[in-house]
């Protein structure tokens, strides 16, 4: 994160640099950073897709010039329609880290060094519980 970056508890309105510092800070663990990144993605999506927020699709696409995708531009209206239908969705975020979602985390003997071995059956069970079949 940025040198000297601090944030007060509670709801905040962040400018771009503060938001970037917030999601990049390493004040705790990589898993904490993952949680902050998930919070930011959800908050940005909610703000961008608010009914009173006008979306200029061409301008948005131009602003995302560093994003690469094989999704054709013609599919954008369909995606926007799906997004509109999901505005009131109950969004769940989860960092798939230890202890629940890892069989092992730490330094492994051999050339790999630090590893996190995922608990795939636990991850699948969680996804099925949240999303259903």
SS3 string of the chain?
CCCCCCCCCCCCCCCHHHHHHHHHCCCCCHHHHHHHHHHHHHHHHHHHCCCCCCCCHHHHHHHCCCCCCCCCHHHHHHHHHHHHHCCCCCCCCCCCCCCCCEEEEEEECCCCEEEEEECHHHHHHHHHHHHCC
Q: How large is the average pLDDT for residues 53-82?
A: 79
Q: Cα dihedral sign for 100, 101, 103, 108?
A: negative
Most confident of 35-44, 52-61, 82-91: 35-44
- Retrieve residue 36's tokens: 């902050």
Q: Is the pLDDT of residue 1 over 50?
A: no
Residue 130 has pLDDT above 60, yes or no: yes
The residue that leads in pLDDT, 3 or 50, is 50
The closest of 34, 2, 38, 37 to 17, measured between CA atoms, is 2
Q: What is the CA radius of gyration of the chain?
A: 19
The pLDDT-based confidence of 101 (bands split at 50, 70, 90) is: very high
pLDDT band at 35 (very low <50, low <70, confident <90, very high): very high
- State pTM to two decimals: 0.69
Q: Mean pLDDT for the chain?
A: 85
> What digits encode the pLDDT tens for the residues 5-28?
888 888 888 888 899 999 998 888
Least confident of 50-54, 72-76, 77-81, 123-127: 50-54
């Amino acid at each position: 994160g940025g040198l000297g970056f601090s944030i007060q508890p509670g709801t905040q309105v962040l400018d771009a640099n503060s938001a970037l510092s917030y999601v990049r800070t390493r004040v705790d663990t990589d898993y904490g950073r993952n949680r902050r990144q998930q919070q930011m993605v959800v908050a940005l999506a909610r703000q961008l897709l608010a009914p009173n927020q006008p979306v200029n699709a061409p301008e948005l696409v131009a602003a995302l010039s560093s994003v690469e995708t094989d999704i054709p531009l013609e599919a954008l209206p369909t995606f926007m329609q799906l997004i509109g239908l999901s505005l009131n969705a109950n969004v769940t975020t989860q960092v798939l880290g230890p202890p629940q979602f890892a069989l092992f985390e730490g330094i492994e003997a051999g050339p790999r060094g630090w590893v996190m071995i995922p608990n795939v059956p636990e991850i699948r069970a969680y996804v099925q519980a949240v999303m259903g079949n």
